[in-house]
Structures are given as C-alpha cells and as structure tokens.
Amino acid sequence: MASIPAVQHALQLVGPGQLRLNPRKKVHAPGPRQILAQVEAVGLCFSDLKLLKQFSEHPRKVEIIAGISREALREIPSYVPGDLPTVPGHEACCRIVAVGDRVERHRLGERCMVQADFRELRTPVANGAFGYNFEGALQEYVLLDERVVLEPSTGERYLIPVPEGLSASAIALVEPWACVENSYANPERRGLRRGGRLLVAADAGRAIEGLDELVAASRPASLAAWRVEAPQKAPLAALGLPLTEVADPGALPDEGFDDIVYFGARKDVLDLLDRKLAVGGILNIVTGGHRIGAPVSVGVGRIHYAGTRWIGTRTGRPADSYRAVPATGELREGDRVVVVGAGGPMGQMHVLRAVCSGLGGLTVVGADVDDARLEALGRKAVPLAQARGVDLRLVNTRKEPLPEGATYFALMAPVGALVADAVRQAGEGARINIFAGIPAATRQDLDLDRYLERREFLFGTSGSLIRDMKAVLSKVASGQLDTNLSVDAVSGMAGAADGLAAVENRTLLGKIVVYPGLHDLPLLPLSGLAPRLPSVAARLSGGSWTAEAEAELLRAAGRPRP
C-alpha cells in the first residue's frame, strides 16, 4: 500500500448550494473500530442535488436518533449531521488502506462498493446515509466505522467486497443500477400485514364477507370499523379482533392503517382513505361489481416514497385483490415494455436492463421528448437489442404517440400526469413502475374503474438493499450487464462541481464518473475525449467507456490504479 497523506482533495458542501473544493482536507487516521478507504471512483447522482439544495434540512442529513449509541457517534469524525460540512457522493468504489485494531469484519487491501443507505440507523424521518450525515466519496480517502457499516439485524456488510478485475467505474455504478434492480426485485405484500392495523369501511347495504379468510392467513393486531352499519357488524365481531368503531372520519388517524379494506365504490370515501394509509400500507377496494364513476385523487408520490399500494377487485371478496398482486415488479416473458423518459441516465438503465434480461418475446419502447437523448440511447441499446433478438423502438412522443396496450410501464419523470396516462393506456394485467421520485405529497386523479377492470398494478420503490447490490454485481461479473454503458463523462476533482451542475442542468445524457485521485482533470464528456486525451479515446468501445479506457486515463492523467 502507498503511504497515506496527511491531507487530501475533497469537494465539501458547507451550506445550501455552497460547494467548496478543499485541497487540504484532513485525512483522518482510523480509530480502533474504524476503516480508512481510498476512493477509486464515484458516480454523480441526481439525489446529490437534493442534498445540495436542502443541506441540513435533508432527512438524511439530520441527526441519528436510533440504531447506534451517541457515544459511538461522537467517536466518528466523519459523522457530520446538521450544519456540519459534509462530502457528497454515494456511488463509490474504494479500497481499504488502514483499519483499527478492533476491526473484525474488514481487512486491509479489500476492494469494496458501498451500500449507501444505513437503514437501521434512524433519523426522525429517514435513515443515516453515506454521502449525507456521514461523509461520502467525493474525496480521496473516506473514514468509516465498523459499527455503522454492518447491518445490525443481519450482520451483513455495507462495504461489499468486489472482484479485482472489474473497472472502478463499473463497480461504482452498481449502486444506481441497484436502485433500478430494487424496483423490479422488491417483494410485494400479498395479504394483510401480520400484527398490523386493519381498517374496514363499507357502503350502505354492502355485504362484508371474506375477511375471515384474510385474517386466518395473517392476523392483524387491531381492527377499526368506519361507515359500518349494524347489519354489517356481525362478520367483524366474528373475527375475534380488538374492535374500535369510528363514527367521525376526523377520528381516523392519518397514516394510521397498514391495511384498509373498503367494500364500496364512492369517490369521496376513496379520496379520504388515501391519507389514512401508513408507510407500506395497502388500500383494497372491493367494488362488488359497482363502478366509481369519477377519477379518484391518489397519492402517487407516496406510492414511490412510502411504498403504499392500491389494489382491488370487481368481485365481493377482498382476498381476490391480494391474489392479483404480483410477487415482485419484475418483467415477464412477452411483456410489452414502455420506458417513459428513456433518454436520461436512469431511463437508459431501465431500457438496457430490459434488453439484457434474457426474457423471451419482449418488446421494448424507449420514449422521450428529445431526439439527441434518444440517439444517445440508441447507440448503446440498439446493438445489444439486435444481438439479443429484442424488438426495440425509440419514440419521440412529441412526434408520435405511444403504442396502446403496454403491459409494463417504467416512469422516469416525476410528473403525476404520466401516471394517469399510463393507467389510461395500459393493457390487461399491466404493471406500472413509478420509478421517479414524485414529491411525496403529490396527488393525481386516476381512472380507478379502468385500473381495476384491467387488473393493473401501481408500485414504486426508493433506494436499494444489499441484496440488490449483490444481484447487479453478479450480472456485471458474469458479463450479462455492463454498467459502464451508462457513462457519458469522466472527471477528476477539478471538474466534480461542474459535473454536479451538468447533472442539475441535464446537459449530459448519462452518468458522470469522478476519479478523486486525479486532482486537475476537468469534466470531459466521452464524445470530447479525443482532442484532450487521444490515447484514452482510442480505448473506448463504440463510444462507450471501458476498463481499458479507465486504466489509460489513470495512467495518462497521473495516477495508476491502486
């Protein structure tokens, strides 16, 4: 290992919108439980901009209140909540260069990628995170603590070992690809939450039936009833659950229920019930063949950020709704896939993942409103689609409409109206993946009659888990997937702030990878490498970033790979 310097180059965020390139930031020596890692590469992310704008108001920048002791946090100089300056950057590949004498699960020389969300370290509204209230990777060396980077409930590592043969960029970009993976692989709940809070509501004259089947499979801890008349109460009493009857809807707590089963089809009731779903809650609409007859205001932002779900059945039995919920949001053989916003960095990933899935009979439509973005996507995706026999079309929706009857939508733009469009255009059994982070408070009028008749399913996820990181890494290591196809530009520390500005202004069409050890390298789009670094440009493959190009960049710009 090379000697560790006393100071380093780092990009620090010192206040809202206030980035500072610090060429003399201290390199902390690790304490007994700590790990020092040298950063090989870090990808820039749109999420970094949320931190840049919100700073101490960001839910992952505030203080941790659970999951680790205050005494331990005081021992970690890279724990920087609130107004303390932080270092952004959470898509990282790094190598461990020093460890404390009480470190047990990490060893000197290991090469790792970082799962950035420390989900069991809770803030008042979110969780601790690498690149937020713990310093991230836009610096040459980062200090981590083993008490933070081990998942308490499983003992799994957030610093995940990776192979030596892969490029640092390919490894760093596993993290954003893992967020994509999570949106497909996340398991969906297909029954009542065991030990949860159940609310039952009913229209006048509607039979309440089938709840015994649900409760027998997964027993909730409590039951509340609203709008339930005397003749309808017998099936509720027979469940043997603690029962609370609510007369005034104002007494129903917001975000108070894990499951709501509504035997009815009234718009005004559905508009109100949306707000009563807890995080991860499911609203089950049992219409009994009745129609709602008007669009319903649905919290589409909470579907993404809070994991809420809307399901239903035209029959009178609520179990039929849960049976129609897919096990995951994964693609299926023969799906007709539409990616809306396909030309952006994350949209490209969704298209490339579909093309590389190995599923038979797929048709994929990449939709965008910008020809340049579609052309850039086509250079990457069309050769792969042709080689794999996937029917791929790229559509500018300013010039031609999307095809009707898609069975899978992936939505990249945080616009509620796009969700309404997908519900209206979707085919039978369609899955609608709200991938973009629509603001959590956003509500959108949706045609739920069509949604229920077509057995559509709205879902969304935020972030990734260790399992998703490992799944993507396996695909990269096997050659099934090349995360480097996402790269559109590279930079050293001198261009990192420009890179974040390019992300904000959407002036580049893919991911930007920063190499912190290259102090003076500006932001360089791959398309403009040849005049500045012709030997690096010569090692691109069809204009795409490669491990060979990375090795030559590090050699030509002054730092061999560790």
Considering the domain delimited by 197-323, tell me its CATH architecture.
3-Layer(aba) Sandwich (3.40)
CB atoms within 10 A of CB 6: 8
Can you give the pLDDT at residue 420?
A: 98
Tens digits of residue pLDDT in 167-190: 999 999 999 999 999 999 999 999
Q: What is the mean pLDDT of residues 407-419?
A: 96
Q: What is the mean pLDDT of residues 207-211?
A: 94
pLDDT averaged over every residue in the chain = 95
Tokens of residue 246, six digits: 């609510």
C-alpha dihedral, 543 to 547 to 550 to 556, nearest 10°: -100
Tens digits of residue pLDDT in 394-404: 999 999 999 89
Look at residue 211 and tell me whether its pLDDT is greater than 70: yes
Q: Confidence class of residue 559 from pLDDT cuts 50, 70 and 90? A: low
The neighbouring-strand residues paired with 22 are 10
Percentage of the chain lying above the pLDDT 90 cut? 91
CA distances from 510 to 113, 114, 368, 400 (A): 20, 21, 14, 24
Tens digits of residue pLDDT in 350-392: 999 999 999 999 999 999 999 999 999 999 999 999 999 999 9
| pTM for the predicted model, two decimal places | 0.91
Q: Confidence class of residue 2 from pLDDT cuts 50, 70 and 90? A: low
Look at residue 195 and tell me whether its pLDDT is greater than 60: yes
Per-domain residue ranges of the chain? 7-164+486-522, 197-323
Place of tokens 């469940």: 239
CA distances from 59 to 77, 82, 132, 466 (A): 20, 10, 9, 21
Look at residue 479 and tell me whether its pLDDT is greater than 80: yes
Can you give the pLDDT at residue 311?
A: 98
Tens digits of residue pLDDT in 496-529: 999 999 999 989 888 999 999 999 999 999 999 9
Place of tokens 């409103």: 369
Backbone dihedral angles phi then psi of residue 8, each to the nearest 5 degrees: -150, 165
Can you give the pLDDT at residue 261?
A: 98
Tens digits of residue pLDDT in 122-167: 999 889 999 999 999 999 999 999 999 999 999 999 999 999 999 9
Q: What is the mean pLDDT of residues 13-28?
A: 97
Tokens of residue 463, six digits: 């972030």
Contact (CB, 8 A) for 411 and 432: yes
Write down the H helix ranges in 311-365: 319-323, 345-355
Can you give the pLDDT at residue 217?
A: 95
CATH top-level class of 7-164+486-522: alpha beta
How many CA atoms are closer than 13 Å to the CA of 72, on its beta-carbon side? 15
* Separation CA 83–CA 205 (nearest Å): 57
Can you give the pLDDT at residue 506?
A: 87
Can you give the pLDDT at residue 561?
A: 47
